[in-house]
Amino acid sequence: MRLRQFLLFSLLISIYITACEKVDIQYGTQYLDNQYTQIVKVDTFTTDISTVFVDSFQTSASGITLLGGYTDSAFGRIDTKSYFELTPPPYTKSYDSARFDSLRLILRLNKNYYGDTTKPLHLEVNRLSQQINFPENQYAFYNTQSFSVFPKVIGSGDFLLNPTFYSDTISIKMDDALGREFLSKLKNASDQDLQNDNNFLYYFNGLRISSNSDAKMIINCTDNITMRLSFSRPGSDTLEKHHIDFTLGNKQHHFNAVKTDRSNLKTPLQKIDHFNNIISGASMGNRAFSQYTSGVMARIKFPSIKELLKLPNYVKILTAKLKVVPMRGSYDTHYFLPPSLSLCSTDITNNVGSPLVAGGTGETQNGNLYLDNTYNDNTVYTYDVSNYIKNLVTNPQSNNYGLLLLPPTAASTTEFSRIIIGNKNLLPENKNTTKLEIYYLTIQPQ
């Protein structure tokens, strides 16, 4: 008993001495008990938000083929193009009696999409006029890269797709002349263009799939791409139907170009680029924008967090939660929210660092999105930022630290869902704002 009293007395003396040097700052605290030891909640620390430019990101070997585009009134016009090589089927000498039927490019949906599924999606196929090769000292392709094509469209179609209910395929009719050319080469044993992979790539560099400015949706397909040559042979009684498949070649050479045009935006986001690479929340109507695939991500900082040390009788942080709240009216059935969002550490460079993990489990946090589909007032992503905030409070270099809001790695370069967040201190009248909640321990002097 005496030992306990002695320890408590020593702790109170140390707190008292420290408190003599602290400034009494009003933070709107709520006391949760009335003992000497108290747990205090504070949620009025400033969350400084901004929008950061994403220079480029790798899209090769993602396993995803992006098709289409759409116009977003907040983020700009976004268009995709997919580039890839094909591998010919195993060569045989059994095509003498074959008669050409059709040539089609077949793509398989994976149910991910973004935009308006009620409108048809127009797709066009062009033949590459140059081989897909890595530039010197480069071993991946990025969203900003492209390869030239021949101007003639060799395949096209308009497709009304409903990817949410079933897994479907897209079958694009290709130029008959190209199909007959393939079959003629297969019949001619002295023509070696289709007899092995290397010869075929010198003859046929690959394909690009694109859309047009009327597209209102981006659809995801797998990399299970097939160009199917169908033909017939005379049978005993009728024509026998056959086909051979050209399949995806080097997966490292399969990549997606993603272009964002912000020229028609009426906000400072129009000017964000490699040189003007950060837009403050204040200049964006107290908002920050995050859509990694269109080249922007939200950054969150806590510039006043060290003021916690000046609070009367402060001892230590117990827990800290960050509640990321999408702005009301910023999302709907077309512009829907990411199902998962990572919080990644960053510094003054704004490069993406390690994602924050959950205390105890060590698992990457995904925000545990709660959707309020009735009123949209309580939709929220919630993160345990206890360890992060404790480090900010004690680290003298923490003024340069921040958190970036972006999808998990697997989705960050292939999905287009996005979020717009607001700042509580700058928008006090709006409850749909991002805030930091801290529970800390105090010991009150007798």
273-282, pLDDT tens digit by residue? 999 999 999 9
Q: Reduced to 3 states, what is the DSSP secondary structure of residue 194?
A: coil
pLDDT in tens, 308-366: 888 888 889 999 999 999 998 899 888 899 999 999 999 989 999 999 998 777 889 99
- Beta-bridge mates of residue 225: none
CA distance 408 to 386: 21
d(CA 311, CA 20) in angstroms, rounded, equals 11
CB 78 within 8 A of CB 72: yes
Confidence (pLDDT) at 428: 54
pLDDT of residue 446: 64
The tokens describing 253, both together, are 């050479």
Q: Distance from CA of residue 112 to its chain's centroid?
A: 12
The mean of the pLDDT values for the chain is 88
Which strands sit side by side in the sheet containing 402-406, from one edge to the other? Answer: 278-280, 48-53, 296-301, 402-406, 342-346
- Name which residue leads in pLDDT, 36 or 171: 171
Per mean pLDDT, which range of 103-117, 152-166, 193-207, 379-393 is the poorest?
152-166
Choose between 327 and 11: higher pLDDT: 327
Per-residue pLDDT tens digits for 135-177: 999 999 999 999 999 999 999 999 998 887 666 899 999 999 9
Residue 158: what pLDDT?
96
Indicate if the pLDDT at residue 13 is higher than 90: no
Residue 54 reports pLDDT greater than 80: yes
- 235 vs 40, which has greater pLDDT? 40
In this predicted structure, what is the pLDDT of residue 227? 98
Which among 194, 219, 24 is positioned nearest to 120, based on CA atoms?
Answer: 219
